């Protein structure tokens, strides 16, 4: 909670840009209605994070469920900084819907050139 307060204060004084995506952790897989714009829900497993779930930032309303398990392919990695801003690697592609293709770095969306929404 104190991270949310510090992050909000830093945005208010324009020390950082408002993050497009922050990370919240959960032990349970979120339902579609649990997902909120701007939040990546990282579902935790016994040994490692299992899934990263979030709404498409391209505006089509699609739901991403990225596998984080290192033994699965494809596999993504989600990291956070001390302000809970998300970074996701590799890039994320939505081949249907709005055709979004983007990177997430320090909470910011960086659109790829082949992405339709930017």
- Ranges of each domain in the chain: 20-111
pLDDT at 85: 95
pLDDT at 117: 58
pLDDT at 97 over 80: no
Percent of the chain whose pLDDT exceeds 90: 63
Across all residues in the chain, what is the average pLDDT? 90
Q: Which positions ≥6 away from 17 have C-beta within 8 Å?
A: 11, 107, 108
Query: Which of the residue ranges 2-6, 16-20, 48-52, 59-63 has the most confident prediction, judged by mean pLDDT?
Result: 48-52
Element (H, E) at 95: none
- Give the pTM: 0.88
Cis peptide before 82 (omega within 30 of 0): no
pLDDT at 60: 85
Band the pLDDT of 118: cuts 50, 70, 90: low
Per-residue model confidence as pLDDT tens digits over 32-48: 999 999 999 999 988 88
**Rounded to an integer, what distance in angstroms lies between the CA atom of residue 34 and that of residue 54?**
10
Mean of pLDDT values over 56-71:
90
**Rounded to an integer, what distance in angstroms lies between the CA atom of residue 80 and that of residue 86?**
5
């Amino acid at each position: 909670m104190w991270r949310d307060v510090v992050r909000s204060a830093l945005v208010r004084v324009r020390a950082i840009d408002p993050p497009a995506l922050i990370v919240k952790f959960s032990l349970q897989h979120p339902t579609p209605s649990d997902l909120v714009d701007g939040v990546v829900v990282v579902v935790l497993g016994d040994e490692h994070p299992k899934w990263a779930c979030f709404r498409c930032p391209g505006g089509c309303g699609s739901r991403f469920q990225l596998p984080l398990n290192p033994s699965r392919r494809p596999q993504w990695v989600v990291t956070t900084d001390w302000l809970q801003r998300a970074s996701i690697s590799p890039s994320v592609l939505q081949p249907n819907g709005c055709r979004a293709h983007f990177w997430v770095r320090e909470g910011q969306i960086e659109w790829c050139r082949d992405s339709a929404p930017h």
